[in-house]
C-alpha cells in the first residue's frame, strides 16, 4: 500500500489544484455546525471530514480508539492516545479517501453526511492548552532586535547560541483565527520622559511564528531526548504572537515579557501533522559553537514552509509586507522540546510551543513590523497610500503558509485577525 504522503495519491473527493488540503495533507481541527456540538474533523479540499461520524459508523474498527474520542470540543482526548494511534487515524483516513477505495465512497448516504462544506462550519481552537511556551529561535530576528536595543557589535546575548531561549506564555489568551484582538493598554515610557505614561499601546506589532502541539504525556522528572522528540510532536499551526512593543520595552527587564504579550496570541485552526511535513524537511543553519550533547541530533529537521504576512486596512486591499520561511530557524523543534524537558519539566497533550518570530536574512523576509520598519524609522507604504510603522486599529493581519517540494503542495489554511480599538 502506498504511504500517506505519496505524491501520486488521488482522492475521490474533488480537490482544487490550488487547495491547501490535498490528500497528502489531511490536517486535523475542531469544527462546529450551526446548532450542533463541536467535534474533530480532517480537512480535504473544501470539506471537513467528520471523524465522529466515521467512528460511529464502524470505519475505525480495530479497537484502538476510545468511544466518542472525536465528539469533543478539543483534540486533547485524541492527542492523549499518543503518536502511534494518532498516526494510525491519519493513515486510515488517507485510505478511506483514496480514489480506489469504496468503503466510504460507495456509501453515498454516509459520505454526504460525513463530508461537510468548510463554508458551513465554525472552526474552533484545535486544543485546550494547559501550557504555552514561546521560543526565540531565529538568529536573524534575535540579531536584529539586539542591534536595535543593545550593542550592534554584540547583538546576541552570550547564551543565545548555546540553548533555545524561551519564556512561559499565557495559554488562556490564545485565540483562533477570525477572532478580533483588542489593542492593549499598559505602561510605557517615551524617550526623554522622566516618568512612564499609561494608555493604549502605540506600537502594536505582529510576530510571524509557527507553533507545534504535543501529543501524549510525560511524568514530572522525565526528559525527552532529541531522538525521542518526534514521538511527542503531533503537528504544526500558524501562530501570531501579538506584541505591544512600547509596553514590552518598558517592562521586560529583568524578567521578560508580560503585559506586552499576554493580551492575545492568534492561532490557525488546522493542525498539519509532523508526518505530513516530513517530505518538506531540510537542513538548518550550521550551529557554531558546537551544541552540548543533549541538543545534538541527526538528520534534517527544519521545514521548508513559505510564510506570508499581509496587512489589509479596513475596506482596502491586501498588502504583502513580508515573505519568510520556517526553514530559517536556528534551533529546530527537536532541540526545543529536548531543552524544554531536560530539567524534568513534564509535558501534556495539547500544549503549544511557538517558534518565536521567524525572520530571514534579508529585509523583505523579516517577521515583525519592528524589523520591517526598523523600530519605526522606515515606514512601509501600502497600496492605498497610507503608511505603517506598526499595526493600526481596524487593520486585519493575515498569515498564510505553504510547503511545496515540486511534487506536492500543501498549506495551513489562513490565520486572520483584526485589530479593534482599546477600551476608552
Question: How far apart, in whole angstroms, are the C-alpha atoms of residue 234 and residue 231?
Answer: 8
Which pLDDT score, from 0 to 100, does residue 156 have?
95
Distance between CA atoms of residues 207 and 366, nearest Å: 10
Per-residue pLDDT reduced to its tens digit, 229-249: 999 999 999 999 999 999 999
- The DSSP element (H or E) to which 412 belongs, if any, is strand 409-420
Cell, residue 225: 531526548
Asked whether the beta carbons of 245 and 205 are under 8 A apart, the reply is yes
Cis amide leading into 83 (omega within 30): no
Q: Residue 259 and residue 262: Cα distance in Å, rounded?
A: 5
Question: DSSP state, 141?
Answer: H
Opening angle at CA 97, ends 2 and 118, nearest 5: 135
pLDDT in tens, 323-382: 999 999 999 999 999 999 999 999 999 999 999 999 999 999 999 999 999 999 999 999
Nine-digit cell string for 22: 490535498
Residues serving a catalytic function are 141
The per-residue pLDDT for 419 is 98
- pLDDT band, residue 63 (cuts 50/70/90): low
Per-residue model confidence (pLDDT) at position 61 = 79
The three-state secondary structure class of 133 is: strand
Closest by alpha carbon to 340, among 158, 168, 172, 211? 168
Longest dimension (CA), the chain: 74
Q: 97 CB contacts (<8 Å, ≥6 apart)?
A: 11, 12, 13, 23, 26, 44, 49, 104
- Whether residue 62 is predicted with pLDDT greater than 80 in this model: the reply is no
Average pLDDT, the chain: 97
Q: What pLDDT sits at residue 146?
A: 93
Arithmetic mean of pLDDT, 32-52: 97
DSSP state of 368: B
Tens digit of pLDDT for each residue in 355-364?
A: 999 999 999 9
pLDDT range class, residue 1, cuts 50, 70, 90: confident
Region of residue 411 (phi > 0: left; psi between -120 and 50: alpha; otherwise: beta): beta
The DSSP output letter for 56 is: H
Contact 299, 335 (CB under 8 A): no
* Residue 66 scores a pLDDT above 90: no
Residue 285 is predicted with a pLDDT of 96
Give percent of the chain above pLDDT 90: 96
CA neighbor of 327 nearest in space, from 304, 307, 308: 304
Distance (Å, whole) CA 352 – CA 348: 9
CA distance 184 to 134: 19
Q: What is the mean pLDDT of residues 378-395?
A: 98
Place of cell 529536548: 338
pLDDT tens string 181-198: 999 999 999 989 999 999
Rounded (5°) CA angle 275-357-211? 30
Domains of the chain (ranges, CATH numbers): 28-124 (2.30.30.230), 132-420 (3.90.850.10)
Q: Report percent pLDDT > 70 for the chain.
A: 100
SS3 for 209-265 is EEEEEECCCCCCCCCCCCCCHHHHEEEEEEEECCEEHHHHHHHCCCCCCCCCCCCCE
Using a cut of 0.95, tell me whether the model's pTM lies above it: yes
pLDDT in tens, 313-325: 999 999 999 999 9
User: What's the CA gap between 382 and 395, in Å, rounded?
Assistant: 12
Question: CA-CA distance, 116 to 56, in Å (whole number)?
Answer: 16
Amino acid at each position: 500500500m502506498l504511504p500517506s504522503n505519496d505524491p501520486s495519491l488521488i482522492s475521490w473527493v474533488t480537490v482544487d489544484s490550488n487547495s491547501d488540503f490535498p490528500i497528502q495533507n489531511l490536517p486535523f481541527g475542531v469544527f462546529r455546525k450551526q446548532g450542533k456540538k463541536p467535534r474533530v474533523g480532517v480537512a480535504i479540499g473544501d470539506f471537513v471530514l467528520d471523524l465522529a461520524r466515521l467512528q460511529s459508523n464502524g470505519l475505525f474498527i480495530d479497537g484502538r480508539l476510545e468511544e466518542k474520542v472525536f465528539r469533543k470540543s478539543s483534540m486533547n482526548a485524541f492527542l492523549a492516545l499518543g503518536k502511534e494511534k494518532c498516526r494510525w487515524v491519519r493513515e486510515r483516513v488517507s485510505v478511506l479517501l483514496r480514489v480506489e477505495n469504496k468503503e466510504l465512497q460507495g456509501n453515498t448516504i454516509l459520505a454526504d453526511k460525513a463530508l461537510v462544506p468548510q463554508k458551513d462550519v465554525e472552526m474552533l481552537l484545535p486544543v485546550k492548552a494547559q501550557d504555552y511556551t514561546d521560543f526565540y529561535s531565529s538568529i536573524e530576528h534575535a540579531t536584529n532586535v539586539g542591534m536595535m536595543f543593545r550593542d550592534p557589535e554584540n547583538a546576541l546575548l552570550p547564551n543565545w547560541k548555546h540553548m533555545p531561549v524561551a519564556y512561559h506564555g499565557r495559554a488562556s489568551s490564545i485565540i483562533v483565527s477570525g477572532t478580533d484582538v483588542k489593542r492593549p493598554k499598559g505602561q510605557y515610557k517615551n524617550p526623554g520622559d522622566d516618568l512612564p505614561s499609561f494608555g493604549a499601546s502605540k506600537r502594536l506589532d505582529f510576530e510571524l511564528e509557527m507553533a507545534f502541539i504535543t501529543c501524549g504525556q510525560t511524568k514530572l522528572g522525565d526528559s525527552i531526548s532529541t531522538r525521542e522528540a518526534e514521538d511527542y510532536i503531533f503537528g504544526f499551526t500558524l501562530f501570531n504572537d501579538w506584541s505591544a512593543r512600547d509596553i514590552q520595552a518598558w517592562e521586560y527587564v529583568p524578567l521578560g515579557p508580560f503585559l506586552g504579550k499576554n493580551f492575545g496570541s492568534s492561532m490557525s485552526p488546522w493542525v498539519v501533522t509532523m508526518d505530513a511535513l516530513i517530505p518538506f524537511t531540510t537542513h538548518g543553519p550550521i550551529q557554531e559553537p558546537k551544541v552540548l550533547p543533549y541538543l545534538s541530533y541527526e538528520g534534517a529537521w527544519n521545514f521548508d514552509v513559505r510564510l506570508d504576512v499581509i496587512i489589509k486596512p479596513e475596506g482596502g486591499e491586501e498588502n504583502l509586507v513580508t515573505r519568510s520561511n520556517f526553514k530559517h530557524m536556528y534551533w529546530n523543534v527537536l532541540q526545543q522540546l529536548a531543552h524544554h524537558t531536560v530539567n524534568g519539566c513534564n509535558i501534556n497533550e495539547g500544549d503549544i510551543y511557538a517558534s518565536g518570530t521567524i525572520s530571514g536574512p534579508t529585509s523583505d523576509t523579516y517577521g515583525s513590523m519592528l524589523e520591517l520598519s526598523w523600530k519605526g524609522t522606515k515606514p512601509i507604504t501600502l497600496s492605498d497610500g497610507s503608511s505603517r510603522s506598526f499595526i493600526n486599529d481596524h487593520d486585519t493581519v493575515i498569515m498564510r503558509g505553504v510547503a511545496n517540494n515540486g511534487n506536492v503542495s500543501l498549506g495551513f489554511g489562513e490565520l486572520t485577525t483584526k485589530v479593534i480599538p482599546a477600551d476608552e
